[in-house]
A and B are shown apart, each in its own frame.
Chain A
Amino acid sequence: MASKEKIKVLLAQFPLETHSRGIITVAGMLRDAGMEIILMGNALPEQIVETAVQEYVDVIGISTYCGGELALGGQLMKAAEDKGIKERTSFLIGGIFPPKDIPELKKIGFDGAFLSATKEEIVSCIEGAIAAK
């Protein structure tokens, strides 16, 4: 992707997630950093991928606090692969989950997995991931 274009980010949560402070915070940070944000809210992995395809986003960001990150994260990757967007899309996940899940999350396809992060760390992760695509 050309670096001068606005990076387009889809932010979503899995269906049952109740905590939205994190995703609102990150949405504000990334918009400040000049990115275009689509705040989708709660949805099943397939629906998230569907929206990502329609909106032709560069990044899918998931916010999770209550578990299910590996199971539903896996479904997200599978759906992205089925729709043929896994290679060109960058995936980030953040929130609260066991630290030992981080390597596993990266293995299934997340370019970044954060338990806490500053704006700079998230932006740099997104830019790095896009550059590597």
Chain B
Amino acid sequence: MGSGKTTKEILKEKLASEEHTPLYNPEALEKINKAFDEWKNTVVREQDRENWDVTPKTILGSEIPRGLLYTPLNNEGFDYARDLGFSGQEPFTRGLHANMYRGRSWTLRQLSAAGSPEEVNDRLKMLLERGATGTNLALDLATVQMFDSDEPEALGQVGTVGVPIDCVEDMEKIYKDIPIDKISASIVTHYPRNTSIIFPMYLVMAERRGISWDKLPGSVQNDFIMESVVRSASEYIPPRDDFRVQCDNIEFIRKNVPRWNFITLNGYNLREWGTSGITEMAVAIANGIAILEDMTKRGHDPDWVGERLAFFWSPANDFFEEVARLRAVRRLWYRVMKYRFNAQKPRSMWSKCHVQTSGVSLQREEPMANVARSAYHAMAAALGGAQSLHVDGYDEAYSIPSDEANLLALRTQQVIEAETQITQVVDPLAGSFYVESLTNQIEALILDEIDEIEKMGGLVDVVDSGWLHNKASRYIQKEQAEIADGTIKVVARNYFRDPNLEMPEIWVKEFDPELGKEMADKLARIRSQRNNEKADNTLKALVDTCKGGGNVMEACIECARADVTVGEMRRAFVDAFGLWKTPIFA
């Protein structure tokens, strides 16, 4: 840490000197306190008094204890300007834009894919015709793990959970006839290394269509936590190298594709793997801090970097906690950018976010009940001020969504957006004694976890040591035990479970052996048609860039132009960096 102080210490100092507009005067608080005590001791039943604080038990919950009733006493030092302000202004608690959803609804962005590049192109177009306002591309397992469709490891898995991409030609098929200079594309690349490999294929596709890179709107994931912590696989590079690749990608995209969000700090998958909503946000922000430090060392202005950072969150069951989390993290990120990095532009203090409703919270038993669960998750996202939303399919525990489930999820979004009228008023839960108190508490808890990480040497170190893996592993096992013993109530699974429960017939995506063959044939054709000497040279240059200095994405662009495949690039990275074994605890 440059200043020698932790983020928490810096914020504490700076906030103490901020101008104050306290909401409550001490005299009023004293009167309220007296009346509250009297009410609590005379009106409230003894058993409720004794069990005043209850710890909520739910899947992915944070277990922040909740009182029976909230009053100004829960938030005595509440300062309007410092803690709330107005929408579109610092500290952005109330939303990034002054008019929020009156100006523009959140982006309705349903994750979709699976099947061949041609089929996925049809599905993207279907969702856009029915009112989706952005595309969101899921990759198949082989592509996520950077294997070619014809490698033995990919056997039986081509196109099952996403679309397979081996080379630029596949990218051309997926986005055929979609105006990529107007419709923003989210590409779920997961890892930094994967982003270095896949995103250049998108850029070369645009190049071949004659669309210049500075016109392209969209986002990639590019989060080293995904590779080093959340996902498991047989071939990973060490976290420190992966972090460097993440930062190389950021630098390249910021320079060359200025409208593109070069990272989606992915809290979502970490939480869904197994952490509370507090750790989800602490890790994502710690990564954001590490990135800004690295970029500053490379000579870049924090404002230049900050403008294009985006976050990805998972809202789960604890409704008010989820609303409060989105408000809290918006304020905290603003404070980090302003006080730790001295950002000047409001835009670089924004924590724009995409939100996907929680998948792990959805159940196999009576899956139609998941429609209700996801609708509440989505409602929390909207009340919390999200910029972009995906609602999970009710068939989440069975398969990737069927077209029917995907459409129903889009309809859920549209009901919230067009019928419930919650979009008319900005940040409607502000001022609630409960929500504000929870927002403050959550912000403080996230900052405590960031502090813990920084004191252990920073995010890369706690990943390398397995600390984060271990933390998640313990969380997963505790949660499972609490579901098994009924401490966590899950409707239809352990709570009012139907004694004659039968699993419904649900469409499950199956492997299409024809697709595996088509992809393999295409690879054979590409490898015989391309200039293989040129392809080899670009791969050698990639290994050199990884080992020496230079930007790895720049080297990958040349690979993509030479029709080098995903698997070939993966092996170049492994040649350069070697393999790292993920520490798994159980």
Contact = CB atoms under 8 A, between A and B. Distances in A.
A97 B398 CA distance: 8
A53 interface: no
Interface in A16-47: 16-21, 23-25, 27-29, 31, 37, 39, 41-44
Contact of B232 (A20, A27, A98): A20
Given A68-B157, A96-B399, A42 B477 contact: no
Interface residues of B, number: 41
A65 B396 CA distance: 12
A21 B234 contact: no
B141 A17 contact: yes
Interface in B281-320: none
Point out which of B152, B484, B586 has the most chain A C-beta atoms below 10 A from its C-beta: B586
B480 A13 contact: no
A1 interface: no
A99 B508 contact: yes
B476 A67 contact: no
B231 interface: yes
A108 interface: no
A74 to B, nearest CB: 9
Interface stretch (A82-90, A114-122, A124-132): A114-122
Contacts of A39: 584, 586
Contacts of B399: 96
Interface string B230-242: 0111100000000
Contacts of A42: 232-234
A31 B141 contact: no
A75 B153 CA distance: 11
B156 interface: yes
A68 B511 contact: yes
A20 B141 contact: no
B260 interface: no
Nearest to B160: A67
Interface in B133-147: 140-142, 144-145, 147
Nearest to B236: A42
Contacts of A24: 274, 473, 476-477, 584-586
A104 to B, nearest CB: 12
B364 interface: yes
Interface size class of A (residues with CB under 8 A): 35 or more
Contacts of A68: 154-157, 160, 511
Contact of A72 (B156, B364, B476): B156
A18 B586 CA distance: 16
A42 to B, nearest CB: 4
Contacts, number: 108
A44 B151 CA distance: 12
A18 B508 contact: no
A57 B256 CA distance: 54
B360 interface: yes
A80 B316 CA distance: 42
A13 B231 CA distance: 12
A31 B481 CA distance: 13
B195 interface: no
Given A18-B144, A66-B141, A67-B141, A41 B232 contact: yes
Contacts of B541: none
Nearest to A67: B160
B273 interface: yes
A119 B233 contact: no
Interface in A47-100: 65-72, 75, 96-99
Contact of B157 (A21, A27, A66): A66
Contact of A70 (B156, B232, B480): B156
A116 to B, nearest CB: 5
Interface in B449-492: 473, 476-477, 480-481, 484
Interface in B152-186: 152-157, 160-161
B249 to A, nearest CB: 20
A18 B233 contact: yes
Nearest to B364: A116
A103 interface: no
Contacts of B196: none
B10 interface: no
A19 B581 CA distance: 16
Contacts of B156: 67-72
Nearest to B233: A42
B487 to A, nearest CB: 15
B234 A15 contact: yes
B193 to A, nearest CB: 14
Nearest to B472: A24
Interface of B: 140-142, 144-145, 147, 152-157, 160-161, 231-234, 272-274, 360, 364, 397-399, 473, 476-477, 480-481, 484, 503, 508, 510-511, 581-582, 584-586
Given A28-B477, A115-B364, 7 more contacts: A16-B234, A21-B274, A28-B481, A37-B586, A68-B156, A72-B155, A98-B510
